[in-house]
Amino acid sequence: MSREERTKKSKSTGSGKNRKTEEAEMVTNALEQIRTLDSEIDLLKQKMNLVIREINVIKRVVLSEKEQIKELEVSKGNDDKRFTSLLNIVKGMRETKE
């Protein structure tokens, strides 16, 4: 090996202390990024849970309103039947008088 090759090799590989420091920094940076991603995932989970709760509330409201509409339709049908039966009774009374 020539002198130039040895200096290039030593510069490219770096000394042991610098290399360990760089590796430690890389590990620290990777851990920090992982923690950041973990925090972001937790926030997204919380938001998703809130959306799910809101959807459930809306679903309950819609179902209860649907049930109320059905009850009103049944009540209206009963009222219509009563009205027609009263109308028939009145018509029957008129016919008997005439």
Give tens-digit pLDDT for 7-50. Answer: 665 555 556 678 889 999 999 999 999 999 999 999 999 999 99
Domain for residue 51, yes or no? yes
Query: For residues 98 and 90, what is the distance between their CA atoms, to the nearest angstrom?
Result: 13
Q: What is the sign of the dihedral through the CA atoms of 72, 76, 82 and 85?
A: negative
In this structure, how many other beta carbons lie within 10 angstroms of the beta carbon of residue 32? 10
* 6 lies in some domain: no
> For position 47, what pLDDT does the model report?
98
Quote the tokens at residue 60: 């309950």
- Domain containing 44 equals 15-97
Global confidence as pTM:
0.55
pLDDT at 4 over 80: no
Residue 4 lies in a domain: no
For 44-54, b/e burial (b = at least 16 CB within 10 A) is eeeeeeeeeee
Domain count of the fold of the chain = 1
In a domain, 42, yes or no: yes
